[in-house]
Amino acid sequence: MPGVNRLRTVWTGTLAGLVSAGAAIAAGDLVAAFTGPAGAPVLAVGSAAIDLTPTALKDWAVAHFGTHDKTVLLSGIYGTMLVLAIVAGMLAVRVLWAGLVVFVLFAAVGVWAATSRQESLLPALAAGLVGCAVLFLVARRAHPTDARREVRPDARTEARTDARTDAHADARPDARPEGGAARGMGRRGFLLTAAAVAVAATLAETGARALTAARYNVAKARAALRLPAPLRPLAPIPASAHPDVAGLSAFTTPVGNFYRVDIV
């Protein structure tokens, strides 16, 4: 039925695209754990996007989101990737090469971002290759092969020569249409493959985060930093440092109002 087939294409394509994108991100982050975390595809694209953002828009983001502006930016990038991954998956279960093109473009954007930031290209290339490979594997599992759909020639010959035997065979309770079991195995194979990829991507992403934290733990280094005590305290700020002028900003800035940017 057209409606059932369309719904099946949507959910298989969505699942295929999501697991492929997850595997791509995990592969890129895992490679970036060795080459430098700033070269991770998502971070590299985010940094390149910040470089291209007009100053007025940056000021607006800082004013509205404060120190959470990077989180908002990364959330937008991840959301866009999820949408593109779903589109790529639904394309791939219909026309495989069309879905692969989306992942190739994703890798190209990552390579461009890494080049613009003078970072390693390996994470973006690894993400693109793994994403395409997983999408190819999972999308092929979404449908039975042509051989599974074929009706054997000898079965057609027997149907022509002995209709009564076929009628008795169809009447058996355990009788199934030709290819039905193969289609069932195809669906189970698709789900098992998607689940295996999802588990592998989760493990790879967990390992990537652990390696990155061990190699580039900025928070631990900052906590270990101890500034020397001043030899003598500064004199109090005189009142003349802040004349009574309307609209004039304060001479000192409270620590909580500073906007900090960490560069790894």
Over residues 86-96, the pLDDT tens digits come to: 999 989 888 88
Single pTM value for the model: 0.66
With a cut of 80, say whether residue 260 has pLDDT above it: no
pLDDT band for position 212 (cuts 50, 70, 90): confident
pLDDT band for position 30 (cuts 50, 70, 90): very high
Backbone angles phi, psi at 154, to 5 degrees: -70, -30
| Average per-residue pLDDT for the chain | 78
The predicted model gives 205-231 an average pLDDT of: 80
Q: Return d(Cα 143, Cα 76) in angstroms, integer.
A: 33
Q: Burial letters for 28-65: b for 16+ Cβ neighbours within 10 Å, e otherwise?
A: bbbbbbebbbbbbbbbbbbbbeeeeeeeeeeeebeeee
pLDDT band for position 157 (cuts 50, 70, 90): very low
Question: Sign (positive/negative) of CA torsion 70, 73, 75, 81?
Answer: negative
pLDDT band for position 136 (cuts 50, 70, 90): very high
